[in-house]
Amino acid sequence: MATETIAAAESGMSPLELEEAGKCIDAHGGAIGMPQLCVDWMGNQIFWLLVALVVIFFVLKRVALPRIAAILAERQGTITNDIAAAEDLRARAVEAEEAYNKALADARSDAQNIVAQTKAEIKAELDEAMAKADAEIAARSAEGEKKIAEIRANALESVKDVAKDTAEAIVAAMGGKADGKTIDAAVASRMKG
Amino acid sequence: MATEAGAAETGHELVFHPMDQFIVKPLFGDGPVGLFTVTNVTLWMAITILATIALLVLGTSKRATVPTRTQSVAELCYGFVHKMTEDVAGKDALPYFPYIMTLFVFIVFSNFFGLIPGAFTTTSHIAVTAVLAMLVFLTVTLMGFFKHGLGFLGVFWISSAPLALRPVLALIEVISYFVRPVSHSIRLAGNMMAGHAVIKVFAAFAPMILISVGVGIVVTPLSILTIAAIYALEVLVAFIQAYVFTILTCVYLKDALHPHH
């Protein structure tokens, strides 16, 4: 490489010679070979690595990991509780639904009972009223018949009287003299006939 | 370089320094890098620590039952590593959960901060990942012997295999056991380094249009598109490598806790 050639020219050594001499960088600050293999730098890296590892380890072990473990455990607990609570609420909802259905069925059967009872009451009332009305009708018609019979009897009597009077008048007009008994008998026999 | 003739005319040249981003340098001054020098490594590790505190401590400070966005991410992160530890290494590995979480958080933040242009990727250095891997290796091995005594050696003795094969398998198991920290560390550092270096290589091609319009009209948009594509891949790799490192730690831990196959 160009830079290495320059470095070698300045130091009077080839890059390979520089590397063998334990040099890690050339005169321009460029890497010679693999910096990973530079022994000069290893101690520094290992020291700081160990420092970093120890710091990270104690930060994790003392603070971070117990805290995260606690958070996760707490969350697990919360989730478990919530699921239990949800299960409980679900059971209560099922219970409430059952109660609702039962109330509905009860109300329905109550309503049916009330309807049937009301129907029976109305029927009974109706029957009673009908019976009463029938009785009244019967009474009224009996009375009417009686009145008709009376009127009929009265009418017959009147006809008899009229017939007698007429017969008497006719007999008198004929110049005869009729006694009451004969006329009655005659009218009665005629009326029958 | 092939472009040097053109560079002389225009004053521009393609500069390839893909490895310069991995240089460790002091933050203050220009002296040598000693053991306790405050360097860019210190800076980016400090940023990692601050990000960890911001996400996992400040983000959860409300302790809300219904989490805020930051708290959600913190809980997600916790749940992800916790579940991984429990699923892969078993319930008795949970005491090691803070340690595994430390590794995951450190690596995932370092990887992602490394993706910021101009940032220093601490996990791209083998020195860093080797220490991480050796810590896991030592913890797991010592803990295995501490818990099971010599019974821990049962991890090499595969009782489900035919008896004649067991010594051969034991040899292979021993070798693979000691290769673990190597593969564990190089996998992470190699992935991070390779991705970042490749992005830099393509970035070096991007100013081609300043040197030669004819070539640059093709090369410049192509290299920019490639950078975007590799960057997207690197975002994926940043997470996956942190995940892989962590899950392998869990696997090794499981071997130590239950050495008998």
Q: Is the pLDDT of residue A178 over 80?
A: no
Highest mean pLDDT among A149-153, B48-52, B64-68: B48-52
Q: Distance between CA B157 and CA B261 in Å, rounded? A: 8
Is B19 within 8 Å of A41 when comparing Cβ atoms? no
Residue A29 or residue A162, greater confidence: A162
Flag whether pLDDT at B6 surpasses 60.
Answer: no
Query: pTM of the predicted model, to two decimals?
Result: 0.73
What integer pLDDT is reported at residue B239 of this predicted model?
96
A22 touches chain B (CB under 8 A): no
- Contact flag B63-A31 (C-beta cutoff 8 Å): no
| pLDDT in the model for residue B157 | 85
Q: Report how far apart, in Å, the C-alpha atoms of B90 and of each of A124, B84, B160 are.
A: 88, 9, 21
Yes or no: say if A31 and A24 are a contact pair by the CB < 8 Å rule: yes
- The closest alpha carbon to B116, from B20, B238, B34, belongs to B238
The residue whose two tokens read 């919530």 is A82
Structure-derived torsion over alpha carbons of residues B27, B33, B36, B38, reported in degrees to the nearest 10: 10
Compute the CA torsion angle B229, B234, B239, B242 (nearest 10 deg). Answer: 160
3-state percent helix, strand, coil for chain A, nearest multiple of 5: 85, 0, 10
Q: What is the pLDDT of residues A68-124, one digit of tens each?
A: 999 999 999 999 999 999 999 999 999 999 999 999 999 999 999 999 999 999 999
pLDDT at A1 over 90: no
Q: Do B39 and A44 touch (CB under 8 A)?
A: yes
A36: nearest CB among B22, B52, B105: B22
Who wins on pLDDT, A120 or A180?
Answer: A120
Looking at residue B1, its pLDDT comes to 38
| Confidence band, pLDDT 50/70/90 cuts, at residue A12 | low
- B127/chain A closest Cα distance in angstroms: 6
What are the boundaries of each domain within chain B? 7-257
Q: What's the mean pLDDT in B87-116?
A: 94
pLDDT band at residue B8 under the 50/70/90 scheme: very low
pLDDT at A15 over 70: no
Instruction: Give the contacts of B169 (CB within 8 A, at least 6 positions apart).
Output: B158, B161
Task: Note the pLDDT of residue B5.
Answer: 42
pLDDT score of A21: 59
Indicate yes or no: CB of B105 within 8 angstroms of CB of A56: yes
How far B72 CA lies from chain A's nearest CA (Å)? 10
Q: At A33, give phi and psi (nearest 5°).
A: 65, -145
Among A2-6, B179-183, B245-249, where is mean pLDDT lowest? A2-6
Q: Give yes or no for B204 touching A (CB within 8 A).
A: no
Question: 10 Å Cβ neighbour count for B26?
Answer: 16
Per-window interface: B 6-65 vs A, CB < 8 A: 13, 15-17, 19-20, 22-24, 32-37, 39, 41-42, 45-46, 48-49, 52-53, 56-57, 60, 63-65
Q: What is the mean pLDDT of residues A121-133?
A: 95
Q: What is the pLDDT averaged over residues A20-27? A: 71
Compute the distance between CA of residue A61 and CA of residue B96 in angstroms, rounded to an integer: 10
Q: Output the DSSP codes for B219-231.
A: HHHHHHHHHHHHH
Amino acid B159: pLDDT: 82
Range in A27-31, A86-90, B111-115, B165-169 the model is least confident about: A27-31
Q: In whole angstroms, give the CA distance from residue B256 to residue B167.
A: 20
pLDDT on residue A31: 82
Which residues, other chains included, contact A54 with Cβ-Cβ below 8 Å and sequence gap of 6+?
A: none
Asked if B107 is an interface residue toward chain A (Cβ–Cβ < 8 A), one would say no
Distance between CA B147 and CA B152 in Å, rounded? 8
pLDDT for A190 beyond 90: no
* Contact between A29 and B189 using a beta-carbon 8 Å cutoff: no
pLDDT-based confidence at residue A5 (cuts at 50, 70, 90): very low
- Residues of chain B contacting residue A31, judged by C-beta atoms under 8 Å apart: 17, 19-20, 22-23
Of all residues in chain A, the one with the smallest CA distance to B125 is A36
CA distance B186 to B245: 11
B98 contacts A60? CB cut-off 8 A:
yes
Q: What would the two tokens of residue A29 be?
A: 């600050």
d(CA A11, CA A26): 9
Mean pLDDT score of chain A: 86
Q: Which of A5-19, A21-35, B58-72, B114-128 has the lowest mean pLDDT?
A: A5-19
- Asked if pLDDT for residue A4 goes beyond 80, the answer is no
Give yes or no for residue A14 having a pLDDT over 70. Answer: no
Per-residue pLDDT tens for B15-37? 788 888 898 888 887 778 888 88
Give the pLDDT confidence score for residue B222 in this predicted structure. 93
Task: Give the whole-angstrom CA distance, residue A34 versus residue B21.
Answer: 11
Tokens of A64: 């971070």
Structure tokens at B73: 């991410």
Our measurement of the distance from residue B18's CA atom to the centroid of its chain's CA atoms, rounded to an integer in Å, reads 19
- pLDDT, residue B11, reads 61
Q: For residues A65 and B101, is the Cβ–Cβ distance under 8 A?
A: yes
% of chain B at pLDDT higher than 90: 64
Token couple for B223? 């290299």
Residue A7 clears pLDDT 50, i.e. is over it: no
Is B97 touching A (CB cutoff 8 A)? yes
Closest-CA residue of A relative to B14 is A2
